[in-house]
Amino acid sequence: MRPRTRSNGFAATATSRQINANKKTSPMNMLVNDHSARDQSARRPLVRIVIVGHVDHGKSTLIGRLLHETDSLPDGKLDALKAVSDRRGKDFEWSFLLDALQTERDQGITLDTSQIRFRTASRDVVLIDAPGHAEFLRNMITGASQADAAVLIVDVTEGVKEQTRRHGYLLQLLGIRQVAIVINKMDRVDFEESRYREIETTIVKQLAGFGLTPSEIIPISARHGDGVAQRTAAISWYTGPTVLEALDRFSPAKPLADLPLRLPVQAAYKFDDRRIIAGRIETGQIEVGDVIAVSPRRATARVQSIEAWPEPDESRAPQTARAGQSIGLTLDQRIFVERGDIISAIETPAKAAHVLRARVFWLNEAPLTVGAAINVRVGMSESRGRIAAIVGAVDPGLLSPSEGKVIAQNHVGEIEIALSQPIAADVYAANPRTGRLVLDLAGRISGGGLILSIAEEDRGSAAADNPTPQQITPAVSLFSDGARARAGKLAQRASRLETLLASLSPAERLARFRGETDGRIVFTTSFGLEDQVILHVIAEHAIDIEIATLDTGRLFRETYELWAETERRYGRRIRAIYPQNESLEALVEKHGINGFYASRDARLACCHIRKVEPLNRALAGAAAWVVGLRADQSSQREATRLVAVDERKLLKLSPLFDWTREAVQTFVAANEVPANPLHAAGFASIGCAPCTRAIAPGEPERAGRWWWEDDNKKECGLHVAPERRTARLAGTGGAAS
């Protein structure tokens, strides 16, 4: 270790000077024709690092010290800073290096963010200074948002303060995951290790609460240089890296070429005969010939060319482009593409969001409130929106913040925004670039954050094209947890679809429901009258809905005959789902072949193995389920709704929910729909042969099912509303629909 002087508080170490000594030239800075240095510079990585922390904890001094230690200051700068300090009657003040504005110097505070460059042995560093005052948080965010990594500085004599926490929280929200902690002013506590440990424990715990894990925690004295470029004797108990070494360990941001393609469209140009779609690839890559999807409008086309200027020879025309490049391309079809659209790979398109949930920070003086109209930007896309809900609004600077219902200036919270037009977007977890949003009021940026979840635009209907916030705003908060949020979204869709389909015929209901739903829809039939009506409609209107039946192995002979006749009549196969043979064999082994008569539990076990479990397989991966329930079938089914949410997290459509038995019979007769001859013999609801009997005139429809049991338990477990989940978990059995 070389001796240092402390006279003016910023003595350089000889070692750091040596880093640059070999690059130095004559005193006049004349050229030395050093090509190796230039080549090195081109290849040296560039890392952007923001220095954040509470006011007066030493951000500017650390930056000054780093520049000084790496011999990065221009000639005359130190003298100029001394003169500026003298003029204000101050000791030498490092902050004047970056606080260039007169107001900043006069008031001794950093107003706005600034940047300065220096070099370590291995890389170029852009240091971003961020103001520590709460009122300039917008400027801290402006600076920090450009950083690949952060240094959070804490004054050992003051410990963790509001802005330490606020900055820590915002780093996380800005997507910065590389963070080193610097514990400054160690000289003020005689470099006591115990004081360092104290702060270390506190800050690690508090940052963990924000989801941040610091890479290093470095004890330093920025003023005297300990721990900045050297582990001095004073901190001999510390074995970790110096600040300079820690900076060298940060990685520059990498272009996200491995994620699915996202090309937000900036503009479509028609300067000549080419129609060029211009934008910057945020993630992924693109190649001439790729089929792309345009969100949110669901158009597709093939990439015809990647355009460039100066125009290359045909043989050298670019064929591929990747994340980070600003490009122009032409498509093989004249589809409408405009600013705000996102071009994606066809397999993994961006979502067409019309409701967004996001964790945001808010910068405007007036707080953000529920009902506020706001402009939402994702990529180049913009839409008006309304704040539908706010939860967990807190001041992240407070140690135990209380949750509010509005997001005040410089606070954070989770919001739900109902958009007036769908915009292309992703959730942050899927794509960090198209998964973040910016909020603006009248063109002025007022907040921003990460998208946590998206409710997609629903296709087709007029109602879906122009949803009012009321229509898509849930009555209750969706925020309690992920599962509830998803269920809440489904409930929203169910109630919206219910409104949409209520006045329609069953055929229109099925067709419209199909159009409104992304993904597979499965209709399960037991060949009852209602099921036959639905099957008839699906087949006659060629609606894209799968038809499946659960063959328990114990159905009536007549039912099997009807099955075959139905396939013949409608010319399509009905998918059969069977019980798992091992479970069934074990069941019969345990209870005997007709064990279900012995106890309700045995009956429910049989229903479960022969119907419920196979049904779960039939519905696996489906988005929706169509059934033949009617509300007037039984007391259990009174609450049947047109569109409900099944506990399997799918929509359940009962297109005949409001029909009477007579209406069903009339339809069957009029359309010569094949029907089970057992109906004529007094069987109203037909399930498994051993468990179904005919009913007498005037008996409830389902009285013939499990007739030896009470009426209010005559369900097998296929149809259980979520709120009655406990009944099913107790083990219910199966009624055919």
Partner 1 sequence: MERLDDLEAQSVFIFREAFARLKRIALLWSLGKDSNVMIWIARKAFFGRIPFPVLHVDTGKKFPEMYAFRDRYAVEWALDLKIEPCPPLEVIDPTLPPAARSAARKTEGLRLALAKYGFDGLIAGIRRDEEPTRAKERVFSPRGREGEWDVRYQPPEFWDHFNAAPPAGAHLRIHPILQWTEADIWAYTKREGIPIIPLYLARDGKRYRSLGDADITFPVASRAATIDAIISELEATKIPERAGRAMDHEAEDAFERLRRNGYL
Q: Where in 662-691 is the site for partner 1 (CB under 8 A)?
A: none
3-state DSSP percent of the chain in helix, strand and coil, to 5: 35, 25, 45
Measured from the CB atom, the residue of 306 and 606 that comes closer to partner 1 is 306
Task: Tell which one of 186, 331, 380, 387 touches partner 1 (CB under 8 A).
Answer: 380
Nearest approach, Cβ of residue 46 and partner 1 (Å): 6
Exactly one of 2, 5, 79, 102 binds partner 1 (CB under 8 A); that residue is 102
Which residues, in sequence order, are bridge partners of residue 265?
Answer: 279
CB atoms within 10 A of CB 38: 9
Report which secondary-structure segment, H or E, holds 386: strand 381-394
Residue 688: active-site member? no
Classify residue 663 by burial, with Cβ atoms within 10 Å: 0-12, 13-18, 19+.
middle
Chain residues 212-271 in contact with partner 1, contact rule CB under 8 A: 266-267, 269, 271
Q: Binding residue for partner 1 (CB under 8 A) from 25, 122, 201, 319?
A: 25
Q: Residues 606, 607, 688, 716: which is the catalytic one?
A: 716
Q: Which is nearer to partner 1, 139 or 295 (CB)?
A: 139
User: CB-wise, 63 or 668, nearer to partner 1?
Assistant: 63
Q: Does 582 bind partner 1 (CB under 8 A)?
A: no
CA distance 621 to 40: 54
Whether residue 119 contacts residue 131, with contact meaning beta carbons closer than 8 Å, is answered with no
Cα distance between residue 600 and residue 606, in whole Å:
10
Report CA 196 to chain centroid distance, whole Å: 38
Q: Which is nearer to partner 1, 24 or 568 (CB)?
A: 24
687 contacts 705 by C-beta, under 8 angstroms: yes
Q: Choose between 449 and 488: whose C-beta lies nearer to partner 1.
A: 449
Residues 335-374 as x/- pattern, contact with partner 1 by CB under 8 A: ----x-----------------------x-----------
Residue 45: φ, ψ to 5°: -65, 150
Binding to partner 1, residues 29-88 (CB under 8 A): 29-35, 37-38, 41-42, 46, 73-76, 83-84, 87
Quick check: 145 binds partner 1 (CB under 8 A)? yes
Considering beta carbons, is residue 137 or 352 the nearer one to partner 1? 137
Least distance between partner 1 and beta carbon 90 (Å): 14
Are the C-beta atoms of 382 and 340 separated by less than 8 Å?
Answer: yes
Q: How many CB atoms lie within 10 A of CB 697?
A: 5
How far is C-alpha 313 from the chain's CA centre? 43
In angstroms, the CA 445 to CA 515 distance is 38
- The correct pick among 141, 352, 501, 644 for binding partner 1 (CB under 8 A) is 141
What part of residues 413-452 is at the interface with partner 1 (CB under 8 A)?
436, 438, 440, 442-446, 448
Over its C-alpha atoms, the chain yields an Rg (Å, rounded) of 35
| Smallest distance from partner 1 to CB 664, Å | 57
> Which of 5, 309, 316, 662 is the binder for partner 1 (CB under 8 A)?
309
**Min. distance of Cβ 485 from partner 1 in angstroms?**
25
Asked if 245 contacts 228 with a C-beta cutoff of 8 angstroms, the reply is no
Per-residue x/- mask for partner 1, residues 697 to 726, rule CB under 8 A? ------------------------------
Element containing residue 436 per DSSP (H, E): strand 436-441
Instruction: State the distance between the two ends of the chain, measured CA to CA, in whole angstroms.
Output: 85
Both tokens assigned to 47: 């890392």
By C-beta, is 119 or 713 nearer to partner 1? 119
Which string of x and - marks every residue 106-125 that binds partner 1 (by CB under 8 A)? -----xxxxxxx--------
Tokens for 100?
Answer: 């260039």
Q: Which of 9, 219, 328, 628 binds partner 1 (CB under 8 A)?
A: 328
Min separation Cβ 141 and partner 1, Å: 6
User: In terms of Cα–Cα distance, which of 289, 244, 284, 241 is closest to 261?
Assistant: 284
CB 303 within 8 A of CB 287: yes
Question: Which residues make Cβ contacts (< 8 Å) with residue 251, sequence separation at least 6?
Answer: 47, 148, 149, 178
Q: 26 or 503: whose CB is closer to partner 1? A: 26
617 binds partner 1 (CB under 8 A): no
Lookup: tokens for 417: 């925004």
Hey, what are 457's tokens?
Answer: 């635009």
The amino acid present at 26, given as its one-letter code, is S
Number of residues near partner 1 (by CB under 8 A): 74
When binding is defined by CB under 8 A, the residue of 70, 95, 120, 139 that contacts partner 1 is 139
Residue 137 and residue 146: Cα distance in Å, rounded?
Answer: 15
Return the number of the residue (443 or 697) whose C-beta is nearest partner 1: 443
Contact stretch for partner 1 (CB under 8 A) within 277-285, 341-349, 412-420, 545-553:
277-285
Least Cβ distance, residue 516 to partner 1 (angstroms): 33
Minimal distance in Å, beta carbon 447 to partner 1? 9
Cis peptide before 310 (omega within 30 of 0): yes
CA torsion angle 312 316 318 320 (round to 10):
-170
Query: Three-state DSSP class for 114?
Result: strand
Question: Which of 311, 347, 365, 481 is the binder for partner 1 (CB under 8 A)?
Answer: 311
Q: Which is nearer to partner 1, 445 or 694 (CB)?
A: 445
Instruction: Please report, as residue ranges, which positions from 172 to 191 form the binding site for partner 1 (by CB under 8 A).
Output: 174
- Which region among 95-103, 616-624, 636-644, 698-706 touches partner 1 (by CB under 8 A)? 95-103
> Of the ranges 26-34, 234-242, 386-394, 418-426, which one interacts with partner 1 (CB under 8 A)?
26-34
Ranges assigned E (strand) in 164-245: 178-184, 217-219
14 or 308, CB closer to partner 1?
308
Nearest in space to 382 (alpha carbons), one of 459, 451, 439, 337: 439
Tell me how far, at minimum, the Cβ of 430 lies from partner 1, in Å: 17
540-559 residues in contact with partner 1 (CB under 8 A) are: none
Which residue in 610, 611, 576, 577 sits closest to 593, CA to CA? 610
Catalytically annotated residues:
716
